[in-house]
A = this chain, B = another copy of it.
Amino acid sequence: MIQHPSFTIEDWNIRETELHLDVLAQTESIFALANGHVGLRGNLDEGEPYGLPGTYLNSFYEQRPLPYAEIGYGDPESGQTVINVTNGKVLRLLVDDEPFDVRYGRVQRHERVLDIRNGVLRRTVCWTSPVGRTVNVSSVRLVSFTQRAVAAVSYEVEPLDAPVRVVVQSELVANETLPAMGKDPRGGAVLPSSLECEEHQAEGTSGLLIHHTRVSGLRVGAAMDHHIEGPPETFVESQSTPDVVRTFITAPLQPGQRLRIVKFLAYGWSGQRSRPAIHDQVIAALSVARLTGWEGLLAEQRAYLDAFWGHGDVEIEGDPQIQQAVRFALFHILQAGCRGEQRPIPAKGLTGPGYDGHTFWDTETFVLPAVTLTFPHAAADALRWRSSILDQARERARLLGRRGAAFPWRTIHGEESSGYWPASTAAFHINADIAYAVTQYIEATEDRVFEQEVGLELLVETARLWRSLGCQNAEGQFRINGVTGPDEYSALVDNNVYTNLMAQHNLSAAAETAKRYPEVAQALGVDAAEIDSWQQAAERIFIPYDQRLGVTPQDEAFTEHEVWDFATTTPEQYPLLKNFPYYDLYRKQVVKQADLILAMHLRGDAFTPEQKARNFAYYEPLTVRDSSLSAATQAVIAAEVGQLQLAYDYLGEAAFMDLYDLEHNVRDGIHIASLAGAWTALVMGFGGVRIRGGMLSFAPRLPEQITRLAFQMVFRGRCLRIEVTAKEASYHLLSGSPLTVRHYGNDISLTRSSAVTRPIPLIHAGPQPTQPPGRAPVARSAS
């Protein structure tokens, strides 16, 4: 993608200087705009050509049957798939009756810019029609961070060489035809024309469509209105049909004369509210947007981003590509989560239909760390969504024969939507991952209201799951058998170390928090005996260790297994899951993604520095990174064990996952977790940031090529700025009351009056570990 020569490296922009149709779908994902509620892919204004049209509303989905050749008890029979809702982006243009289409005539100039400082997508085109009329077309598109139901487009046409008559057809289109998704299991299902019209309306400059889904029974409304500036002869009328509303704007233009249209869009949906209620909701949002006006929306957008970058920016000296990539990453994370408001943060955000629009453990494990330290309110919202699906999770636990709650591996509405249980139902760790995110959020914010209203119940119900999933054996060990850890190239194993350590944390946190809020706990049915049973299970949890090799096995039997034959595996055979059957992957030592290494990050307290180094050296040659969820974690631990060049290489992989389309599926949407991984690799890796027991600690260390790293973060109501160079780190408290943090294990007290600077100790590291042949990250050198 961005390595394409048509992209430039800039601090605050993703700029494409020429249009290349072969990567159109990928750029639609890269240039997508969203606010966590509404998402618009970066489709061209005129609708065609497209890679994949896409307009999404968070949690708006259709149901579809999940088929099985041989179904088993507990296999979900119905799945949920995000659907492309009414498209309001379309502004078709006719120039003297020639449709403006980049595939015809001649494109003299075409530039698109994702402006992440202002939160807009800009496009400028200079086009000569087949009959020789040249026009400048420019558009600016935004999805408002401040008005969550609202998007808007400012669209301008100007003839250059001769008078022309232009017609702009501005549309709302439901049930667009979608291209097939192919056989990649990471894609999503395509549901044909799934919206049924309930109301269509057009009048003057405005129009509205209301539809509902056939099976899931959700209702969606979309409305548009236009502010038009053109010559006095400009003529406007609107028409509606069940699936299309069109506003026609016709104007004769002289060279130098412009037609300018601001299109205001509003969306609303509900599973419960009536057609009239949705109708009123969208036209109300629309009128606020019109009242705010285009300039007003732009100003609000900028102000919102001023605040965000003010406490979340990451600055890098020495690597402008990484600088660009991490800002791109933070912007998309913000877009995915900032206005979700108790809706999930899906794996692809609202940028494409990949993974059916589902939310996985990625959110809590990979995305929320960044969110918690940059715009924490959204972390609370995402966890409140988990709380809102507790009933479905409790029902699932009951079906699975367990107590408490068993959160779905993948879902939109809360019900398990996974069709392959060994890599979903058995991946119980998601429950501990949610609990971990809860405790990290509380430690980072001291949000006691959240803790009592939401946090404790999530901790209690997940602890109950663990207590009833594991069992104590004759030797008193608390064992968790037959589960799948993060590494999806192993499954149904006994005592996965990641799972056991995370379950231990979950059980302890539930016990401690329940003791702190005895009344809330009592209301949840928790008594002293139950708390005891959690503590006992946590204390006695079995963590296997391989004495022979001196390493921690990923699971009890892992190191007994044959090592994958990497020598005869060719580069084209990756990702392995597309070329080898699961039975063979599962029974061998080959790691799809960080598993024990992730345990060493999240539960670093359970390993000595020597163990970390030995384990990292053992797992590196086994880890193929066939998942986008791996590089960032490997970067963090590589940095921790002193392998700074390797950490830097992994940072590159995480940061460029989407911009370089490393997994060849960015067409289906960007990888929010991998983007967050770029932040994690920098802040947790090179910044050495950890939060444990409420204490914020740092162990900064830079690779040679990065000469300065500075980042802001919010913690317990304060805003901090940390600046790191090769030799020293300085800590600035930008706002809030004094705070004690740790630098390399030593407390330092921060006040707003002055920064504290500390030297960075010398880093000692062993030999750099190797990766499977051909699977080393691309060696990164300063540009």
Within 8 A of B (CB), among A537-596: 556-557, 560-562, 577-584, 586-588
Q: Is A74 in contact with chain B by the CB < 8 A criterion?
A: yes
Q: Does A399 contact B (CB under 8 A)?
A: yes
CB < 8 Å neighbour of A420 from B69, B562, B577: B69
CB distance from A409 to the nearest CB of B (A): 11
Contact A492 B586 (CB under 8 A): yes
Query: Is A618 located at the chain interface by the 8 A CB criterion?
Result: no
> What is the CB-to-nearest-CB distance from A494 to chain B, in angstroms, rounded to a whole number?
6
**Which of the listed residues A69, A483, A560 has the most CB atoms from chain B within 10 Å of its own CB?**
A69
A484 to chain B: closest residue by CB: B583
Min distance, Cβ A567 to any Cβ of chain B, angstroms: 14
Does A725 belong to the interface (CB within 8 Å)?
no
- A72-B577, A561-B481 given; A492·B491 CB < 8 A: yes
Number of interface residues of A (CB under 8 A): 48
A185 interface contact, C-beta 8 A: yes
A577 to B75, CA, bound (A): 12
Kindly state the separation between the CA atoms of A560 and B69 in the bound complex, as whole angstroms: 32
- Say if the beta carbon of A22 comes within 8 Å of chain B: no
Proximity string of chain A (217-230) to chain B, C-beta cutoff 8 Å, 1 when within and 0 when not: 00000000000000
Residue of B nearest to A68 (CB): B69
Alpha-carbon distance between A360 and B741 when the two chains are bound, in angstroms:
65
Interface: A610 (CB within 8 A): no
Instruction: Chain B residues near A557: list those with CB within 8 A.
Output: 481, 494, 556-557
**Once the chains bind, are A587 and B492 in contact (CB under 8 Å)?**
yes
Q: How far does the Cβ of A480 sit from chain B's closest Cβ, in whole Å?
A: 9
Q: Which residues of B contact A420 (CB under 8 A)?
A: 68-70, 72
Least Cβ–Cβ distance between A353 and chain B, in angstroms: 16
Within the complex, the shortest CB–CB distance from A26 to chain B, in Å, comes to: 24
Residue among B73, B419, B425 making CB contact with A579, cutoff 8 Å? B73
A482 within 8 A of B: yes
Smallest CB-CB separation from A77: which chain B residue? Answer: B69
In whole angstroms, how far apart are the Cα atoms of A342 and B758 in the complex?
A: 83
Contacts of A72 in B (CB 8 A): 185, 420, 577, 581-582
Interface string of A38-81 (1 = CB under 8 A from B): 00000000000000000000000000001111111111000100
Assembly CA distance A173 to B584 (angstroms): 47
Contact of A401 among B67, B556, B578, B581 (CB under 8 A): B581
Interface pair A425/B583, CB less than 8 Å apart:
yes
> What B residues does A577 contact at CB under 8 A?
72-73
Which residue, of A492, A581, A583, has the highest number of chain B Cβ atoms within 10 A?
Answer: A583
Nearest-Cβ distance from residue A550 to partner chain B, whole angstroms: 14
Measured between beta carbons, the chain B residues less than 8 angstroms from A140 are: none
Chain B nearest CB from A505 CB (Å) reads 22
Asked whether, in the complex, the Cβ of A584 is within 8 Å of the Cβ of B419, the reply is no
Tell me whether A400 is interfacial, beta carbon within 8 Å.
Answer: yes
Q: Which residue of B lies closest to A64 (CB)?
A: B69
* A–B complex contacts, Cβ < 8 Å, 11 sampled: A68-B69, A69-B418, A70-B418, A72-B420, A73-B579, A73-B582, A473-B560, A479-B560, A494-B560, A494-B561, A556-B557
Q: A400-B581, A400-B584, A421-B583 are in contact. List 11 more A-B contacts (CB 8 A).
A: A67-B67, A67-B68, A69-B75, A71-B183, A74-B581, A74-B582, A422-B583, A479-B562, A481-B557, A491-B492, A494-B561
